[in-house]
Amino acid sequence: PTVFSPFKRDTDYFASDKQQFMLNLRVQDLDGLLKKLEAGGVRIDPKRQDEDYGRFAWVYDPEGNKIELWEPKG
C-alpha cells in the first residue's frame, strides 16, 4: 500500500531546507540491498537507525535527495 505521512512544518527530520519530502521504501534484507547499491555506485549515508518497528538506512538519488529505506521487524 501507499502511505503518505506528512511532518509538521517546522520539522528538522530532513536536515535540509531544500528537501521538503522523502520517499520511504519498505525493503527486505536491508544489509544485502545496501551492498548491491554500494556496488552500483549509489551514495549511501553511513548512519543506521534501529527501532522497535524496524531498521532504517538512507541513500541519495543522483540529484542529492535523501531516500529512506526501511526493513520492518518480523
Which residue shows C-alpha cell 545496501?
34
For 2-60, the pLDDT digits (tens) are: 667 776 777 776 666 666 667 889 999 999 999 999 999 999 999 999 999 999 999 99
**What pLDDT is stored for residue 34 in this prediction?**
98
Per-residue pLDDT, 65: 86
pTM given for the model: 0.79
Alpha-carbon distance values, 3 to 6, 24, 64 (Å): 10, 9, 23
CA dist list (Å): 59 to 32, 64, 73, 74? 14, 9, 20, 23
67, 59 contact by CB (below 8 A)? yes
CATH T-level assignment (fold) for domain 24-72? 2,3-Dihydroxybiphenyl 1,2-Dioxygenase; domain 1 (3.10.180)
- Sorted by where each begins, the domain ranges of the chain are 24-72
What pLDDT score does 38 carry?
A: 98
Give the full edge-to-edge strand order of the sheet including 66-72: 24-26, 66-72, 54-60, 44-51
Residue 19: what pLDDT? 61
